[in-house]
């Protein structure tokens, strides 16, 4: 933002912010500027565009100016506003968790579809609350998958693991925010290690594991590489290293007929699909994301 000589109004603030973020090479710079101004003013987008002549208070100008500078330097918008929407729910995000991505919503869609088909096959009614289902989300991060499933399936009991205690603290706060704390049990664990000592068996295991290859790190956007947790990004040198252990554990912990739904990295499919062969697995299916990339693989335990 330029130093202000006259009172700053909303229209000018937005115009200058668009120019500053565009010049800094910020992706989706218009949206980022809008979200930061909405955050600084505590207003929604409708208000911004309905009040272009409104004068912005000095304290809000200072806040907006500092947010813009941090965004221009590469901090993700969600770290500055502290939130991200996923499955039409608002989640707290901090630098300790992966920012929920829209493509991860396909994991929820596939999981709900698979459970629905299973219910129809079992002769139950099509709309169901997930009564009695045991579900686990491995690598829960912000808790977005576990919490979205808890909202969709109010009768299900959900376990959510993460190797990061800092991520679990955020996930617990998100569960409380969405009033599902009593139905999600959070567990610090390497993959399903902790569950493997228990007598728990699951109807559904979902996971969006870290799947970026360390050798791809230089190709990542600075917002991702420099600001999101490494433990949430990298699956190993190639990226797909965690799937083999996760699928082996899932084979042990799923009930017969239980469903596994995994998000895939853009090049994970050739490495992951062969791990879901007979005799342990059947009904393997792959769903593409909106960009046509194979994004979710699902299979049923025989």
Ligand X SMILES: C[S@@+](CC[C@H](N)C(=O)[O-])C[C@H]1O[C@@H](n2cnc3c(N)ncnc32)[C@H](O)[C@@H]1O
Which residues would be at the binding site for ligand X (CB under 6 A)?
97-98, 100, 104, 138-142, 144-145, 161-164, 167, 190-191, 208-210, 231-232
**Placement of tokens 């005799």 in the chain:** 279
Residue closer to ligand X, measured from CB, 1 or 112: 112
Closest CA to 208 of 288, 67, 294, 105: 105
Q: How far is the CB of 80 from ligand X (least distance, A)?
A: 18
Q: Phi-psi region for residue 73, left (φ > 0), alpha (ψ -120 to 50) or beta?
A: alpha
Q: Phi-psi region for residue 82, left (φ > 0), alpha (ψ -120 to 50) or beta?
A: left
**Placement of tokens 């769903």 in the chain:** 287
Q: How far is the CB of 124 from ligand X (least distance, A)?
A: 28
Residue 41: CB atoms within 10 Å = 19
Residue closer to ligand X, measured from CB, 69 or 244: 244
Q: How far is the CB of 185 from ligand X (least distance, A)?
A: 15
> Which segments of 54-171 are extended strands (E)?
83-86, 89-92, 134-138, 157-162
Residue closer to ligand X, measured from CB, 21 or 298: 298
Residue closer to ligand X, measured from CB, 130 or 210: 210
Q: How far is the CB of 204 from ligand X (least distance, A)?
A: 14
Residue 18: CB atoms within 10 Å = 16
The values of phi and psi at residue 227, to 5°, are: -130, -20
Q: How far is the CB of 86 from ligand X (least distance, A)?
A: 8
Residue closer to ligand X, measured from CB, 72 or 262: 262
Pair 211, 264: CB distance under 8 Å: yes
200, 205, 208, 214: CA torsion to nearest 10 = 70
Let me know how long the chain is.
302
Residue closer to ligand X, measured from CB, 16 or 96: 96
Q: How far is the CB of 244 from ligand X (least distance, A)?
A: 12
Q: How far is the CB of 184 from ligand X (least distance, A)?
A: 13
Whole-number Å distance between alpha carbons of 37 and 13:
8
Q: How far is the CB of 261 from ligand X (least distance, A)?
A: 12
Pair 89, 149: CB distance under 8 Å: no
Whole-number Å distance between alpha carbons of 280 and 170:
35
Residue closer to ligand X, measured from CB, 91 or 281: 91
Closest CA to 1 of 50, 40, 46: 40
Residue closer to ligand X, measured from CB, 104 or 134: 104
């Amino acid at each position: 933002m330029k130093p202000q000589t006259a009172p700053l109004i909303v229209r000018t603030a937005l115009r200058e912010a668009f120019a500053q973020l565009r010049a800094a090479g910020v992706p989706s710079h218009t949206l980022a500027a809008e979200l930061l101004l909405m955050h600084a003013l505590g207003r929604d987008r409708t208000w911004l565009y309905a009040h272009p002549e409104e004068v912005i208070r000095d304290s809000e100008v200072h806040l907006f100016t500092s947010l813009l500078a941090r965004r221009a330097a590469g901090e993700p918008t969600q770290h500055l506003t502290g939130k991200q929407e996923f499955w039409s729910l608002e989640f707290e995000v901090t630098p300790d968790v992966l920012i929920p991505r829209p493509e991860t919503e396909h994991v929820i869609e596939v999981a709900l579809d698979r459970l629905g088909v299973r219910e129809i096959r079992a002769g139950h009614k099509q709309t169901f609350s997930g009564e009695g289902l045991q579900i686990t989300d491995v690598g829960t991060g912000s808790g977005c998958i576990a919490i979205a499933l808890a909202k969709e399936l109010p009768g299900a009991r959900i376990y959510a693991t993460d190797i990061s205690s800092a991520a679990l603290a955020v996930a617990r706060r998100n569960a409380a925010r969405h009033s599902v704390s009593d139905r999600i049990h959070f567990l610090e664990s390497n993959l399903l290690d902790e569950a493997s000592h228990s007598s728990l068996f699951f109807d559904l295991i979902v996971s969006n594991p870290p799947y970026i290859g360390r050798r791809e790190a230089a190709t990542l956007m600075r917002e991702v590489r420099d600001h999101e947790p490494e433990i949430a990004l990298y699956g190993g040198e190639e990226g797909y290293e965690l799937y083999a252990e996760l699928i082996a554990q899932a084979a042990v912990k799923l009930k017969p007929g239980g469903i596994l739904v995994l998000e895939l990295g853009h090049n994970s499919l050739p490495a992951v699909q062969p791990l879901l062969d007979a005799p342990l697995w059947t009904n393997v299916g792959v769903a593409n994301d909106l960009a046509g990339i194979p994004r979710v693989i699902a299979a049923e335990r025989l």
